[in-house]
C-alpha cells in the first residue's frame, strides 16, 4: 500500500531478517513510510525488492557512530523525525557458561545490543526532541529481566537495554516515550539457536508481526518507561 496522508514515519534497525524484516513489511502493508537498515547488502537489496521500492533499506553497521549518523541524516531529510523508532538489531552468543565466553564475543554483543542502541538514539533524538513527539521502542526480552544459563552475555546486554530505556524515559519531555519491549517467543534464527527444534512450536515472524505492528503503532507517552510485553500470538 502506498503511504497516505496519515502515514507515520517509522525507522527500524535490523530489518534484513527475523522480527525486523517482518515488521518492516507489515508496516508497509499498513501504509506507513519505513526506513530500515541491516548489515548484508544482498539481504537489504532483497528486502527493497520485496517492498516494491516503497521502503528505504540500506546497509548500516549500528556499532559505527558515523555510519549511523549519515543514515539518520538521510532519513531525516527524506521523512522528517520518526514517529516510531525501533531499535531491533541484535545478536546472541553461542551457548557457553559465562566464564568460557571469549572476551571478543562478549564485546561484540555489547557493541551491537547496547552501543548500537545508544548510537541510533543519539542520531535521531535531537530531531525528535525539536519536534517534541515520537516513540522510541528498544527491543528487550524476558532475558532482560531475568537470567538464563548459557546465554549470560545476551542477558547482560538486554538488562542494559532495560536500564538504558527506562533512564531515557525519565529524561524525555512530556509527549514523548521510550519503551523497552519484550516481543515474546517467536520462531527466529536467534530462537532456534537457543531452543533448537522446539522453536517450531512458536509463531513465525510474519504471523507475529500481524499482531505486533498495530500494537506498536498504538504506543504513546502514556506507556513511557514501562517494560511491555506483547500479548501471546496464537
Find the catalytic residue in 154, 164, 181, 208: 154
User: Would residue 154 show up in a list of annotated catalytic residues for this protein?
Assistant: yes
Average pLDDT, the chain: 92
pTM (two decimals): 0.93
pLDDT tens readout for residues 65-80: 999 999 999 999 999 9
Q: How far is CA 195 from CA 60, 171, 202, in A?
A: 29, 37, 10
Residue 121 maps to a domain: yes
Residue 152 maps to a domain: yes
Q: How many domains does the chain have?
A: 1
Residue 234 maps to a domain: no
**Residue 36: predicted pLDDT:** 98
Under the banding of pLDDT at 50, 70 and 90, the label for residue 112 is very high
Tally Cβ neighbours within 10 Å of residue 67. 17
3-7 long-range contacts (CB < 8 A, ≥24 apart) are: 3/31, 3/32, 3/33, 3/54, 4/31, 6/31, 7/31, 7/32, 7/33
Residue 20 maps to a domain: yes
The Cα 178–Cα 157 span in angstroms is: 17
Residue 135 maps to a domain: yes
**Residue 195: predicted pLDDT:** 54
pLDDT tens readout for residues 217-233: 999 999 999 999 998 77
- At residue 202, does pLDDT exceed 70? no
Domain of 122, in residue numbers: 9-217
The Cα 133–Cα 176 span in angstroms is: 5
Residue 233 maps to a domain: no
Give the domain CATH number at 48: 3.40.50.720
Instruction: Output the nine-digit C-alpha cell for 60.
Output: 548500516
Residue 223 maps to a domain: no
pLDDT tens readout for residues 120-176: 999 999 999 999 999 999 999 988 888 989 999 999 999 999 999 999 999 999 999
Amino acid at each position: 500500500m502506498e503511504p497516505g496522508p496519515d502515514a507515520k514515519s517509522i525507522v527500524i534497525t535490523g530489518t534484513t531478517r527475523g522480527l525486523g524484516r517482518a515488521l518492516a513489511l507489515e508496516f508497509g502493508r499498513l501504509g506507513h513510510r519505513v526506513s530500515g537498515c541491516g548489515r548484508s547488502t544482498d539481504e537489504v537489496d532483497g528486502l527493497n525488492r520485496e517492498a516494491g521500492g516503497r521502503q528505504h533499506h540500506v546497509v548500516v553497521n549500528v556499532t559505527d557512530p558515523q555510519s549511523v549518523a549519515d543514515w539518520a541524516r538521510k532519513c531525516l531529510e527524506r521523512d522528517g523525525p520518526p514517529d516510531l523508532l525501533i531499535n531491533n538489531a541484535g545478536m546472541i552468543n553461542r551457548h557457553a557458561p559465562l566464564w568460557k565466553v571469549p572476551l571478543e564475543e562478549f564485546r561484540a554483543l555489547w557493541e551491537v545490543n547496547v552501543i548500537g542502541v545508544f548510537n541510533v538514539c543519539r542520531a535521531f533524538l535531537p530531531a525528535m526532541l525539536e519536534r517534541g513527539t515520537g516513540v522510541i521502542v528498544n527491543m528487550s526480552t524476558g532475558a532482560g529481566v531475568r537470567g538464563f544459563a548459557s546465554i549470560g552475555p545476551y542477558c547482560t546486554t538486554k538488562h542494559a537495554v532495560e536500564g538504558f530505556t527506562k533512564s531515557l524515559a525519565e529524561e524525555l519531555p512530556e509527549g514523548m516515550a521510550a519503551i523497552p519491549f519484550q516481543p515474546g517467543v517467536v520462531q527466529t534464527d536467534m530462537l532456534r539457536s537457543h531452543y533448537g527444534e522446539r522453536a517450531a512450536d512458536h509463531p513465525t515472524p510474519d504471523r507475529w508481526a500481524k499482531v505486533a505492528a498495530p500494537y506498536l503503532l498504538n504506543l504513546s507517552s502514556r506507556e513511557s518507561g514501562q517494560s511491555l510485553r506483547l500479548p501471546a500470538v496464537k
